[in-house]
Chain A
Amino acid sequence: MHVHSGKHRLSIKMNAKTAPEKADPTIQFQNVTYGFNRSVHHKVVSDIRFSVAAGQTLVLLGRSGSGKTTLLKLINRLLVPTTGQVIVRGRPTTEWDPIRLRRSIGYVIQEAGLFPHFTVTQNIALVPTLENWDASRISSRVNELLTLVGLDPVEFASRKPHELSGGQRQRVGVARALAADPPVLLMDEPFGALDPVTRTELQREFSALARRLGKTIVFVTHDLREALLLASRIILLESGRIVADATPQEFPLIDHPEVRAFTASLSPLAGAHA
């Protein structure tokens, strides 16, 4: 067990005040607890320590209510730690202007959360619009992104979300998150609501896309298969605590009841993974 001394934490703070070094992790959880003494118990996470290096895809795996989404929301300051610190790109989230922080982090959620009154173009252009890009730059960026996520700009640009299939909506959700080219991407079970065939398609495509873009990605899922496909590292959560932290190769070999529970959920269908 590593214990962070006050001295250690201080040195990180000082690093943050000078220019962050290249080797610094993009995201770092330092002894984070959230929801201590709160009535909403399933949201409690405690003793969270991990870091995500630039360009890594970290998958947070766990059952419903294990605290995965809470960790995600601590990164873009939708939540603030009760104790400890979350450091994003060299600065604790509490010292960031939340608006600036969030605009530098793409966010994709289940069922996409697209704005129903906006067209596909307006949805994708959201952050660029908020950042006052000029119209021609926005429109070329939107075309570029639609092509990137496999949607024909001519056909889809002016549609409304209700005129799209679930898979198409999720593609637009990914495009919207990438619009202002944020270095970090947070994804909360983005493919969870899709039918299995579409889900597999999107997982494969996204896996290739993620490798190509080199973003730092934190991806929440309860699906071990998805975790093994996408992750450069898997963290398993149980009741708000980290119980395993490993590469996809090592993960299935870990001797922990919750890991076994997850690998067991996989094995009757495809034992080949381990």
Chain B
Amino acid sequence: MSAWTFFLEHRAEILEATANHLTLVLIAMAFAIAIGVPLGMFIVHRPTVRNVALGLASIFQTIPSLALFGFLIPIPFIGGIGRRTAIVALVLYALLPILRNTYVGLTGIDPAVLEAAEAMGMTQSQILWRVRLPLARAVILAGIRTATIITIGVATIAAAIGAGGLGTFIFRGVAMVNDAVILAGAIPAALLAIAADLLLGLLERRLKIS
């Protein structure tokens, strides 16, 4: 059976898995942004917290994804089999690029601009919200873009702990030694990643000009 006929016959199933996959990614990204960006803002003036936060986020990223999913299963509340565990793991993965880019964006601002802001009598929080954050937008978005692409890829592995998504096809295909089935998961996942990259890249460029 060729890949094409498999695609046609199972298109409803593939579409549903793609939707599941996308939901998983969107939920994880929402959490990762909601944690990563404020944390990045928080660590600008706090070197100790900064080292701990960036260090932990880096450590999460070094754990092989399949192992991380496995580690989480026995943990109460956040663990177990299914979507919730997968989302926790994906958030941990997505955190580093978002956190690091937020921090780098907020601190990589022309010192003359920051000096002027301080000398004009802006408070630290006014400088953060009105100067640093608007000037860091493009860099923060670049971090979100990287994290999104990573998450789309890693989310395929979430199927191993019963979270559904496009990984279901990939694992099934590997077990059946059937390329068509693997491709039914891999191709939509790749297309999702490319689409996310293009869209966020477009947004990033727009933020940079203004």
Within A99-129, the residues touching B (CB, 8 Å) are: 99-103, 105, 107, 109-117, 126-127
Is the CB of A78 closer than 8 A to any CB of chain B? yes
Q: Is the interface of B mostly helix, strand, loop or mixed?
A: helix
> B98 CB to closest chain A CB, in angstroms?
21
Given contacts A115-B131, A117-B135, A117-B210, contact A76 B119 (CB under 8 A): yes
Measured CB to CB, the nearest residue on chain A to B133 is: A117
Is the CB of B16 closer than 8 A to any CB of chain A? no
Is the CB of B116 closer than 8 A to any CB of chain A? yes
Stretch from B72-80, B120-128, B161-169, B194-202 that touches the partner:
B120-128
> A171 CB to closest chain B CB, in angstroms?
15
Q: Which residues of A contact B180 (CB under 8 A)?
A: none
Whether B121 contacts A99 by the Cβ 8 Å rule is yes
Given contacts A117-B134, A117-B135, contact A111 B120 (CB under 8 A): no
Report how far A254 CA is from B113 CA in the complex, Å.
Answer: 38
Given contacts A109-B112, A110-B112, A111-B112, contact A116 B135 (CB under 8 A): yes
Q: Is the interface of A mostly helix, strand, loop or mixed?
A: mixed
Report how far A103 CA is from B112 CA in the complex, Å.
Answer: 18
Known: A98-B121, A113-B113, A126-B120. 18 other contacts (CB 8 A): A78-B118, A99-B121, A99-B122, A99-B123, A102-B119, A105-B119, A107-B116, A109-B116, A109-B119, A110-B112, A113-B110, A113-B112, A115-B116, A115-B117, A116-B110, A117-B134, A117-B210, A126-B122
Q: Which residues of A contact B121 (CB under 8 A)?
A: 98-103, 127, 130
Is the CB of B115 closer than 8 A to any CB of chain A? yes
Whether B210 contacts A127 by the Cβ 8 Å rule is no
Whether A113 contacts B115 by the Cβ 8 Å rule is yes
Number of residues in B with C-beta < 8 Å to the partner? Answer: 17
Measured CB to CB, the nearest residue on chain B to A186 is: B119
Partner of B119, one of A107, A114, A116: A107
Report how far A145 CA is from B197 CA in the complex, Å.
Answer: 45
Q: Which residues of B contact A126 (CB under 8 A)?
A: 120, 122
Whether A113 contacts B116 by the Cβ 8 Å rule is yes
Q: Which residues of A contact B122 (CB under 8 A)?
A: 99, 126, 130
Q: Which residues of B contact A98 (CB under 8 A)?
A: 121
> B125 CB to closest chain A CB, in angstroms?
11
Measured CB to CB, the nearest residue on chain B to A131 is: B121
Measured CB to CB, the nearest residue on chain B to A102 is: B121
Interface 1/0 per residue, B152-191 and A, CB below 8 Å? 0000000000000000000000000000000000000000
Report how far A30 CA is from B116 CA in the complex, Å.
Answer: 26
Whether B134 contacts A107 by the Cβ 8 Å rule is no
Whether A130 contacts B126 by the Cβ 8 Å rule is yes
> B204 CB to closest chain A CB, in angstroms?
15
> A145 CB to closest chain B CB, in angstroms?
14
Report how far A116 CA is from B120 CA in the complex, Å.
Answer: 16
Measured CB to CB, the nearest residue on chain B to A176 is: B120
> A53 CB to closest chain B CB, in angstroms?
23
Interface 1/0 per residue, A70-99 and B, CB below 8 Å? 000000101000000000000000000011
Report how far A114 CA is from B210 CA in the complex, Å.
Answer: 15
